[in-house]
Structure 1
Amino acid sequence: MENYHELERRLGYEFKNPQLIVEALTHKSYKKPYNNERLEFLGDAVLDLIVGEFLFHKFPQSDEGVLSKIRASLVNESGFATLARAIDLGRYIYLSPAEENNQGRSKPSLLSNAFEAVIGAIYLEAGLENARSIVVRLLDETYPRIDLDTLCKDYKTALQELTQATHGVTPDYEMIGSSGPDHRKEFEVAVKLDGETIASAKGRSKKAAQQKAAEIALQKLRKERG
């Protein structure tokens, strides 16, 4: 875990109350009297407003349906995890050793929650304008192009296109298992290439788990290709 002052430099914002950023970076597994869940709740609402306003001004000719779809592609676990990775947020999160060993710093859900919490903390301390300027800058830097076609691309389709081009085969998806009560069941899916598991992920539905696994596999294969 790195010193959070480097994160402040990446954000372009220095906290006056250090406890706020510490709380925003504290995962519940760290076993402190506080964690980032309340700030995550606040940040989620703040980000929904900021991104909605950003898209409203960016696409003056688009109707409500198109704007809603683009926002849904940005305001979700995958979208926030992408922004979190852009500032290398995973390096600064306070985690338990068990969560650390479980690759917690790279989990999309954990990164997304921490990003929401950090934005919630900035909003709480410095107001909407400061939070907006940071989020809009990150959006502009992270997404060179924001439109429906680019953002709503299906990860499974993108992975299939890539593996066909590089390996001459398409990936297979295998159900590993499920856990949790019926009303909050979570499914785990592995994506395989030539019989070898290259990624796995969990989701609230089989389809969501497949999409997450495909996204992770895409990132891995693209990184390997350089």
Structure 2
Amino acid sequence: MNILEDFDENLHELNLSGPDNSNASLVAKKKKRKKKKKCSTSTSIDPLPFDGVETILGYEFSEPRLLEEALTHPSSNQCVNYDRLEFIGDAVINWLMAKKLFLSYPELREDQLTPLRSANVSNEKFARISVEHELYSYLRFSNESFKEQIEVFKEHISSNHCNSLIKIPKFLADILESLIGAVFMDSNCSLDTVQEVFMKLLEPLIGPEELQIHPKTELKEFCEKKGLPIVNYNEDYWEQKHIINAIFDNCVVGAGYGSNKEIAQNKAAKAALENIKQIYLNP
């Protein structure tokens, strides 16, 4: 093929005509080739680890590509990742949980059902499930900090619920939501199949009696009930950590620090509540 024939082919591919577009067509073609090269990274499934996920779920995929997609983090630089499946999985599990709680607790009002649903589909709960079943070990990612985040999270949840006191690695929760989305799509959008596969992983569900109140909310409600002054918070920053002091009646009654302001404030509120309770419940 000579230069003119190659040039004509470029124009035909880009639906362009005329000599003024030659540079644009060549640049576009190079970009196109470059893009194809980037996406040529192998995305074949390793049968051993992915079979393990199917065993955990008790579900065999008819389209294995969906399972592969569900376990591919955006940082892996693959052509596809779990973002879209996470999106649909989040919507599906919220609907199924709303239905489950609505039928299980006919006596509860909407304002009681909403926090109950939130607790049962929270990032913390989903991340815990991913750790419990070691789903994270099947995830493809390129972010080296994930390994440390996983270990820190595992250490903190070994005894109690985090209750907003530590930062939840969102990607751990994303894994479960993307798998929910993958099963939903693989089963021809069968809500019954998703419920059968995932509700057993979510057991035991958090009921009204197990629902934990946010530390700041619990502190505020306690002070209001006892007719006590409102607790205020001041903030400092040291060595890339947020430091929050809880101020009650002009005294520091609790302090907390963390990687972000919310976590530090929750820790301060929890400490303040414990100290105030000691004073007013055990005089």
Q: TM-score, normalised by structure 1?
A: 0.66
Distance 1:51 1:177 in 2: 41
Q: Is 1:137 the counterpart of 2:192 in the alignment?
A: no
Q: State the partner residue of 2:12.
A: none
Aligned amino acid, residue 50 of structure 2: Y
Alignment of 1:34-53 (within 5 A): 34-53=80-99
Task: Tell me: CA distance 1:189–1:113, structure 2 relative to 1, closer, same or farther (3 Å).
Answer: farther
Aligned amino acid, residue 92 of structure 1: Y
Task: Tell me: CA distance 1:129–1:174, structure 2 relative to 1, closer, same or farther (3 Å).
Answer: farther
Please say which structure displays the higher CA radius of gyration: 2
Question: Gapped runs of 5+ residues in structure 2?
Answer: 1-45, 154-167, 218-234, 245-256, 268-283
SS at match of 2:56: helix
Cα RMSD, aligned residues only: 3.6
Distance 1:18 1:122 in 2: 10
Q: Is 1:114 the counterpart of 2:175 in the alignment?
A: yes
Aligned amino acid, residue 69 of structure 1: P
Distance 1:149 1:174 in 2: 36
SS at match of 2:144: helix
Q: CA deviation at 1:136?
A: 1.7
Alignment of 1:33-182 (within 5 A): 33-96=79-142, 98-103=144-149, 108-126=169-187, 127-140=190-203, 142-143=204-205, 146-154=206-214
Structure 1 residues 170-200: Cα deviation after superposition (integer angstroms, max 9, x where no partner): xxx985677xxxxxxxxx6589xxxxxxx95
Structure 1 residues 84-114: Cα deviation after superposition (integer angstroms, max 9, x where no partner): 2332211111111624554458663011111
Question: Gapped runs of 5+ residues in structure 1?
Answer: 158-172, 179-187, 192-198, 213-226
Cα pair 1:54 1:136 within 8 Å, conserved: no
SS at match of 2:175: helix
Task: Tell me: CA distance 1:113–1:40, structure 2 relative to 1, closer, same or farther (3 Å).
Answer: same
Higher relative contact order (CA 8 A, sep 6+): 1
Cα pair 2:149 2:169 within 8 Å, conserved: no
Task: Tell me: CA distance 1:49–1:20, structure 2 relative to 1, closer, same or farther (3 Å).
Answer: same
SS at match of 1:3: helix
Aligned amino acid, residue 113 of structure 1: D
Paired residue for 1:4, among 50, 54, 57?
A: 50
Structure 1 residues 99-154: Cα deviation after superposition (integer angstroms, max 9, x where no partner): 455445866301111111110010111121111112221222x44xx223423244
Moved over 6 A (4+): none
Cα pair 1:29 1:99 within 8 Å, conserved: no
SS at match of 1:150: coil
Cα pair 1:7 1:87 within 8 Å, conserved: no
Distance 2:105 2:113 in 1: 8
Aligned amino acid, residue 117 of structure 1: S
Aligned amino acid, residue 62 of structure 1: L
State the number of aligned residues.
Answer: 180
Q: TM-score, normalised by structure 2?
A: 0.54
SS at match of 1:91: helix
